[in-house]
Amino acid sequence: MNPSSLVREFMEKGRSESCRVIDMHGHLGPYQGIYFPNPSPEDMIRTMDRCGVRMIVSSSHAALIDTRENFKMADVVKRHPDRFRAYWVINPNYPLRIEEEIAQFPKIDGFIGFKFLSDYHRYPITGPRYEPALKYAEGHGLPILMHTWGHSPYDSPALVDELAKRYPRVVFLMGHSGYGEWERSIQVARDHPNVYLELTAAYAINGVIEKMVLGAGSRKILFGTDLPWFDPHYGIGCVLFSRITDDDRHNILHRNAESILKPFMSHG
């Protein structure tokens, strides 16, 4: 059996006091192609308590479709300020709304940055419609969580590479770690101080976490689950049983996220 004290603690108790997990890739509410037993904020908090997850940063599923739904996440953060922060979804298919949304952004508490879902919105992260959000994030040093997928024409690691050079103050979180194009994703995270690999779904690939730690270092990896999609214990189990050190596990499961979230923890 794995000798790690963190593994033992999670196996026995399901959580760890010394490793209170932060989930940097969450959602909220029902969605099109999947049945969720636990979609509400209160359901999610119950899951987070069970799994030792201290905080989650979410974009609502509804806002992925219609960005006017973004405002509802502000209410969720207001009701649960110790458990939720939010991403503001940018939909490049409605470019006239983006300037107005960015003007509203600083006036609403609870949002830490933006969410791009380019594969689903079918618009490349390097396209001009994203520029207002990217320039705002650059000016304020904000995080952007991007859905990224290997060889995608919309959000591949190569396109993240381009953006990271153009916007060095933006903190780019590569959602799903450029799934499938691992070598290139690791290289982009290694080459740019402002790029992180985010593990949602990617953690399930056997051996990929070790490969990321070896190639980019555990300080460049963030934990996420797509909750209410995936049981956090599944992803945490993948991190725990990977052949890495407990120090690496702490970096991935909470320390790196704590550093990114620090400027936003007085909100709410």
Partner 1 sequence: MKFFDCNASFGTPMVPPIRYADTAKELLKEMDHYGIAEALVYHVRQCDDSPVVGNSILFDEIEGIDRLHGTLAILPTQTGELGTIESIIDLMREKNIRALRAFPAEHKYSMSRTALGDLYDLMTERKIPLIINIGESSGVSGWHLVERMLSDVPDLTLIVTEQGCWGQDRLFRPLIERHANLYLDISRYELDGGISDFVGKYGADRLLFGTAFPEWNPGGPVLMLTHAEIANREREMIASGNLEGILGRVRL
Could you list the residues that contact partner 1 (CB under 8 A)?
Answer: 1-2, 10-11, 14, 33-38, 43, 47, 50-51, 182, 201, 203-211, 225, 227-242
Calpha distance 233→240 (Å, rounded):
10
Closer to partner 1 at the Cβ: 131 or 231? 231
Nearest distance in Å: CB 154, partner 1: 18
Closer to partner 1 at the Cβ: 90 or 236? 236
Does residue 163 contact residue 189 with C-beta atoms inside 8 Å?
Answer: no
Nearest distance in Å: CB 29, partner 1: 13
Closer to partner 1 at the Cβ: 77 or 227? 227
Structure tokens at 246: 């407990």
Number of other residues whose CB lies within 10 A of the CB of residue 145: 29
Does residue 92 contact residue 130 with C-beta atoms inside 8 Å?
Answer: yes
Closer to partner 1 at the Cβ: 87 or 179? 179
Nearest distance in Å: CB 44, partner 1: 8
Inter-CA distances, 80 with 57, 77, 85, 91, Å: 12, 5, 9, 26
Closer to partner 1 at the Cβ: 74 or 204? 204
Nearest distance in Å: CB 159, partner 1: 23
Element (H, E) at 219: none
Structure tokens at 191: 């080459």
Which residues neighbour 205 within 8 Å (Cβ) at sequence distance 6 or greater? 182
User: 33 has which bridge partners?
Assistant: none
Number of other residues whose CB lies within 10 A of the CB of residue 192: 17
Number of other residues whose CB lies within 10 A of the CB of residue 18: 10
Q: Which of 166, 170, 235, 160 is nearest to 190 (CA)?
A: 160
Closer to partner 1 at the Cβ: 56 or 174? 56
Does residue 197 contact residue 186 with C-beta atoms inside 8 Å?
Answer: yes
Nearest distance in Å: CB 133, partner 1: 27
Closer to partner 1 at the Cβ: 104 or 245? 245
Nearest distance in Å: CB 43, partner 1: 8
Nearest distance in Å: CB 144, partner 1: 24
